[in-house]
Structure 1
Amino acid sequence: MTVSKLDVRTDDGVMDVYLHLPPGHEADGGEPLPTVIMYPDAFGVRPVTQDMADRLAALGYAVALPNIFYRTPDAGPFDAATTFSDPEARARLFDVMQKANATAVMGDTGALLTALDDVPAARSDKVGTTGYCMGGRLAFAAAGTHPDRVAAAASFHGGRLAVEDDPESPHRHAGEVRARLYFGVADNDSSCTPEDQVRLAGALDEAKVEYRMEVYTGAAHGFAVKDFPVYDEAAAERHWDRTAELFDATLKAPAA
């Protein structure tokens, strides 16, 4: 794969973004590719997320993988296998996550979209978003925050997608969404309960949003990411199939 780094200036500093392209493509030339922004989970950009961006790029996409935790560069690294059982590491992680709240990251996403306008290899007039865990929430939020740009969004084991008492809950912006959506929901996930799923579906139905929601029976929160202890190969492969189906149908159509 071809990987280059973009430094994207935001209101809070400079966010580093990794641009993954298929073999033979360079960021400064060639036919523009359909573009997907991939939001990482709470453990941030690391080898496993780089590998995932490579796999998506190999399907014919320019994949932008942003370091959404650039505001706290010295907080990590965090180990997905042990952080939640270590009180000190868990507290540090929650502090990092709080600074990368939806409002902040949606501002960052606007800056990233502007930066992608100047990348010849990346088609930026309509993009896809995808994400994992908290990144799944951000991918959904982007569809409601940047509806003129986001044509498709996928959320995998996303948390807090439709929380009744959360003013930042992305389901509140369902009426602004123009994208086609996909939700791959982990089974028995306390961050996306059956009640949350009903609330989410109700908001999307009322807004007449095109979406598909699937519960991955038997798969735990984190099923798609290889360095999670609960990684589930069968569920992960299914998530790759759904990712390709969504973005091939929405982003690979000729430009209007």
Structure 2
Amino acid sequence: MPKITDSVTTPDGECPVQLFTPDGTGPWPGVVMFPDAGGARDTFDQMAAKLAGYGYAVLLPDVYYREGEWAPFDMSTAFSDPKERGRIFAMIGTLTPDRITRDAEAFFDYLAGREEVSGERFGVCGYCMGGRISVLLAGRLPERVAAAASFHGGGLVTDNVDSPHLLADRMNAKVYIGGAENDASFTADHAEQLEKALTAAGVDYRLEWYQAAHGFAVPDNPPYDEAAAERHWAAMTETFRSALA
């Protein structure tokens, strides 16, 4: 798939991005892919390129750009090595809802200005941390987000005032939630609370469980599950196909 390396100016600086497109002239619906806690890296380049192959212009941002040149994580040890665990959680903590929203507005403006991209509303998808970001943005930027897909997303339901599920009544997107079994970051109780909020708000959504562990869709995660990953591609593209012009 063709790939463009660029940067997006945000209120906080310059965010490196990569834009993956299908072969051909386009234009195509735009999607922002938000990575898991390990951030943008080779495995997400491959995932963004694969999604582009389904007919989308896919923007992959370095969500940790405020950290400058940061050392990539080895996802096989990122959570078991105490030093790396501390570093990854510290970096996750820098992504406040307000920062995420400001960045996303800049990403959407960038897509809207590209000749390869069609439309003024976009898709968002994400994994783990990125799954939470995707649902959060569906509520925070309903005028820009037409479809949101979250896979093994954590923190979708919390006791905090900025919990994504509390934004259900603002959502105007088609929403897909793919939960991992036995995942402490998204439990059956969380799912019940989320479904109640989405149903009460009249959101067009689907929530499904995958018989796989947290991290099942990302190839360099130790719990990667090929069958679950293929199922997630089918679910995501179905969600986008029906919501993105």
TM-score normalised to structure 2 length: 0.97
Match of 2:197 in 1: 203
The C-alpha deviation readout for 1:74-117, integer Å capped at 9, x for no partner, is 33211110011111111111111111233211110001111222
Given residue 3 of structure 2, which amino acid in structure 1 is its aligned partner?
A: V
SS of structure 1 residue aligned to 2:66: coil
* 2:43 counterpart of 1:76: no
Match for residue 126 of structure 1 among 102, 107, 121: 121
1:227-238 matches, within 5 Å, as 227-238=220-231
Is 1:116–1:124's contact at 8 Å kept on the other side of the alignment?
Answer: no
Match of 2:5 in 1: 5
1:38 pairs with 2:37 = no
Match of 2:104 in 1: 109
1:171 is matched with 165
Normalising by structure 1, report the TM-score. 0.93
Which runs of structure 1 show a deviation greater than 4 angstroms over 4 or more consecutive aligned residues? none
**What SS is found at the alignment partner of 1:100?**
coil
Match of 1:86 in 2: 81
Whichever residue aligns with residue 145 of structure 1, its letter is R
Give the C-alpha shift of residue 158 in structure 1. 0.3
2:239 is aligned with 1:246 = yes
1:124 CA displacement: 4.2
How far has the Cα of 1:209 moved from its partner?
A: 0.5
Amino acid corresponding to residue 185 of structure 1 in structure 2: G
**Paired residue type of 1:213:** L
Residue in structure 2 matched with residue 27 of structure 1 by the alignment: none
Deviation, 1:187, is: 0.3
User: Could you give the per-residue CA deviations for residues 181-238 of structure 1, whole angstroms, max 9, x where no partner exists?
Assistant: 0000000100001111111111111111010000112x00000001011000110000
The reply to whether residue 21 of structure 1 matches residue 14 of structure 2 is no
Encode CA deviations 1:6-50: one digit per residue, 9 max, x unaligned: 3111121111111000123xxxxx432111110000001111100
Letter of the aligned partner of 1:7 in structure 2? S
Contact 1:75 1:93 in 2 (8 A): no
Q: Aligned pairs, how many?
A: 245
Q: Does 1:181 align with 2:180?
A: no
Cα distance in 2, alignment partners of residues 113 and 44 from structure 1: 19
Structure 2: stretches of 5+ with no match in the other structure: none
Q: Distance in 1 between matches of 2:238 and 2:183?
A: 24
Alignment CA distance shift 1:212-1:78 (3 Å):
same
Give ranges in structure 1 of 5+ residues lacking alignment. 25-29
Rounded Cα–Cα distance in structure 2 between residues aligned with 1:111 and 1:99 = 18
1:223 aligned onto 2:216: yes
Equivalent residue of 2:156, what SS?
Answer: coil
SS at match of 1:128: strand
Aligned mates of 2:70, 2:59 — CA distance in 1: 22
Matches of 2:152 and 2:170, distance apart in 1: 23
Percent of aligned pairs with the same amino acid = 45
Do the aligned partners of 1:124 and 1:149 also contact (CA within 8 Å) in 2?
A: no
Q: Is the 8 A contact 2:76 2:221 kept in 1?
A: yes
Provide the residue aligned with 1:137 in structure 2.
Answer: 132
